[in-house]
Structure 1
Amino acid sequence: MNPPPSRPPGKTGAFGSGAPTIHDVAKAAGVSIGTVSKALNDQGRLREETRVLVRETAARLGFRPNDLAQALHRGKSLTVGMISSDSFGRFTMPIMEGLEGYLAGEGISVFMCNATDDPERERLHIEQLLGKRVDGLVFTSRRADRRPTADMTHLGVPTLFVYAQSHDPMAACLLPDDQQGARDGVLHLARLGRKRIAHVTGPDRFEAVVLRQTGYLQALQQSGIDNYHMLLNGPWLETWGHDAVAQLFDHGGERPDAVFCGNDQIARGVIDALRERRIAVPGDVAVVGFDNWDVMTMATRPALTSVDMNLRGMGKEAGVRLMAMIRGETFTGITRLPCSLAVRQSCGATSAT
């Protein structure tokens, strides 16, 4: 019988776990434990060939340094925590992609937790992330309104709100410029020759609804067509968009030749209701939505023109700012980032005008 194959040094590991230790790396490389620590943490005065030897030996053995121990040693864990209350991920995932994509280039990983609008759960996530010595925290939500949050004054790490607001007016927040986005969407319709532009949107208790309504009215005034406006508020639902069409077309007055919608779900309901009435989109009525949610925009017929909040770009900007905060810079208050317009067939144009 052949003897069992020998294992590489250290594969038995401490405590019989099979994981190599720093002692195994030092023995295999023929150096001291202190030299291994300096080489792997890029510290101390070592010859370059020694650093290379230690790192190659560690890689060959499959040695993984204890992340927490390294964090304590260098004062940085190279990790960031992200806590979201957006259980569906509709807004959080694009932000996460932008944030993670930028931070990866800085050698930083992101831990993501879901608080589901539960303050106690959020508090526990904060404690757990701080226990892992994260270098910063990012909070996101499914709505950008101000909301109660855990006490952020004694966290000891840079903290940033993205598509979310804290009750603390000094907290650093990144939000979409809803007013600018709505204004640009309505101006686009006006430039296409639409003169009677209605606005069907969500409940006016939301800050985004109020800001988008303001942008809508500003665009009408700027276009010289403020003699007509029809503004309808309802739930953030496709069924509301469908029902709103009856109010727009059955009241006996002038009918709109365009509808600017507060989100893409409402816009899809509007388009379906117009089709049922044999009202052509965009021939008779142009439609523009808000959010540029591809699940809705590309499934709508015709494909839906929509205001894009640029959430991935917002996530990237969050990464830029968080890195600056980690390096000692300070940001406070709200910064609104510009929206853009994704033009498709529903407005009657194939490119931005």
Structure 2
Amino acid sequence: MTLKDVAAESGVSVPTASRVLNGGGHVSVETRQRIHEAAARLDFRPNALAQSFALGRSFTVGVLAQKASGNFSTPVITGIIAELSKHDVAVLVYDDEDNVAARPQNLRTLQARRVDGIIVVGDGTDVPFPSISESFQTPVIHVFGVSDNPEDTCFLPDDVQAGRLAAAHLLRQGRTRIAHVTAMEYSRAVQDRLSGFRAELADAGVEIALSEPLFGDWTIPWGYRAGLELLERRGEFDAVFCGNDYIALGVTRAFEQAGVRVPEDVALVGYDNWSKYSGSPDRFLTSVDPQLNSLGRVAAEALLADDPAARQPGVSYQPCVLVPGMSSGAVASDGLGAIALR
């Protein structure tokens, strides 16, 4: 069916039908409803190219990724694409591949494509991106990464809340001597999670075990070395909040080899909830989920919003959730015990 058929069915001119279906037109509520009902009955599908010329829009959004294949970037981008596709908006993904030299060319390409907006997807929050907002007349959103311009709009997981969630969960499990093993002390994510963790413990009148966190990196080998260090102070803790799931798995390996049972002897909580991406059914690791897919959807919603207030300057923090597992005693092991990491 064509636009002409919709106009005839609803008893209006073709230009009027076109304007109404494109969101404009000064007509009565009754006429507008009649046109939309006619379009629905006739299963009318507007020509995207014709619409883009009529409205001066491309119905295309550019996604500029620091590293599109990164562990964090992939679920964020998936969420962005899912949300934009619901609105029939196409997505062009340009990947820096973690190479800063690739960004200028990607920016020039996006400028040439005249996209309706840009979503910059980071692979972490430790190093701010140089702002690109001045290079585009259309909205620019940052997600899972921050701009060096405080006026830019950025969406991040609420890592302060994540630390609070981990501490509150372990306290509810009856643990009161909770250690913290995490990554680099300079990391924004590390400091935010630590801040929330300390605050929740303080609210309960509890101090962090071992006096201070153990700082390292985000890897399983660091978690293993930290686990060995913890074993030298075995009587000083009954739970560990780990900065991410990789660290938690390394700590588990060290404990397993020493005959320390998880969760019977020591409860563990991680961060990332990677098991939902791996498809692992064992529910071993209790973990805080930053909901990266939802984070991407929220960024896309903000970009598409008619109200500019949806794109407030600064950082907007999105909620995390805690996913219970066996490692903290929140889910029964059914005899499985700790998984063997070999």
TM-score by length of 2: 0.80
TM-fit CA distance, 1:155: 0.7
TM-fit CA distance, 1:340: 0.7
CA contact (8 A) 1:198 1:256 kept: yes
The one-letter code sitting in structure 2 at the alignment partner of 1:266 is I
Structure 1 pair 90–161 and aligned structure 2 pair: CA distance change class (3 A) = same
- Alignment match, 2:336: none
Distance, in Å, in 2 between the alignment partners of 1:101 and 1:299 is: 24
Distance, in Å, in 2 between the alignment partners of 1:321 and 1:283 is: 45
Distance, in Å, in 2 between the alignment partners of 1:97 and 1:189 is: 32
- Alignment match, 1:214: 195
Structure 1 pair 306–227 and aligned structure 2 pair: CA distance change class (3 A) = closer
SS at the partner of 2:223? helix
1:257 to 238, 242, 246: 238
TM-fit CA distance, 1:130: 2.5
Distance, in Å, in 1 between the alignment partners of 2:76 and 2:16 is: 36
Q: How does 1:56-67 map onto structure 2 within 5 Å?
A: 67=49
SS at the partner of 1:165? coil
CA contact (8 A) 2:231 2:255 kept: no
2:73 to 92, 96, 102: 92
TM-fit CA distance, 1:309: 0.4
- Alignment match, 1:285: 266
Structure 1 pair 148–105 and aligned structure 2 pair: CA distance change class (3 A) = closer
TM-fit CA distance, 1:120: 3.5
Whether 1:318 aligns to 2:299 is yes
What is the number of equivalent residue pairs in this alignment? 312
Larger radius of gyration: 1
TM-score by length of 1: 0.77
- Alignment match, 2:174: 193
Any idea what the Cα deviations from partners look like across 1:211-244, whole Å, max 9, x if unmatched? 1111221122122221734410001110111110
The one-letter code sitting in structure 1 at the alignment partner of 2:228 is A
Any idea what the Cα deviations from partners look like across 1:261-307, whole Å, max 9, x if unmatched? 00000000011111000100000000000111127887597710000
CA contact (8 A) 2:128 2:148 kept: yes
Q: How does 1:299-310 map onto structure 2 within 5 Å?
A: 303-310=284-291
1:342 to 323, 330, 333: 323
CA contact (8 A) 1:174 1:314 kept: yes
The one-letter code sitting in structure 2 at the alignment partner of 1:200 is V
CA contact (8 A) 1:123 1:150 kept: no
SS at the partner of 1:174? strand
Distance, in Å, in 1 between the alignment partners of 2:280 and 2:178 is: 24
Q: How does 1:40-51 map onto structure 2 within 5 Å?
A: none
TM-fit CA distance, 1:86: 2.4
The one-letter code sitting in structure 1 at the alignment partner of 2:317 is R
Distance, in Å, in 1 between the alignment partners of 2:208 and 2:70 is: 40
CA contact (8 A) 2:143 2:156 kept: yes
The one-letter code sitting in structure 2 at the alignment partner of 1:173 is C
Whether 1:236 aligns to 2:218 is yes
Distance, in Å, in 2 between the alignment partners of 1:304 and 1:145 is: 26
Distance, in Å, in 2 between the alignment partners of 1:227 and 1:201 is: 13
- Alignment match, 1:169: 150
Unaligned runs of 5+ in 1: 1-24, 26-34
Distance, in Å, in 2 between the alignment partners of 1:133 and 1:214 is: 42
2:55 to 74, 97, 100: 74
CA contact (8 A) 2:133 2:139 kept: no
- Alignment match, 1:133: 114
Structure 1 segments of 4+ aligned residues over 6 angstroms from their partners: 35-41, 295-298
Distance, in Å, in 2 between the alignment partners of 1:238 and 1:37 is: 63
The one-letter code sitting in structure 2 at the alignment partner of 1:224 is G
TM-fit CA distance, 1:246: 1.6
TM-fit CA distance, 1:94: 1.5
CA contact (8 A) 2:185 2:215 kept: yes
Distance, in Å, in 1 between the alignment partners of 2:130 and 2:52 is: 27
CA contact (8 A) 1:297 1:304 kept: no
CA contact (8 A) 1:197 1:230 kept: no
The one-letter code sitting in structure 1 at the alignment partner of 2:142 is F
- Alignment match, 2:227: 245
Pairwise CA RMSD: 3.3
Give the percent of matched residue pairs that are identical in Structure 1 and Structure 2. 32
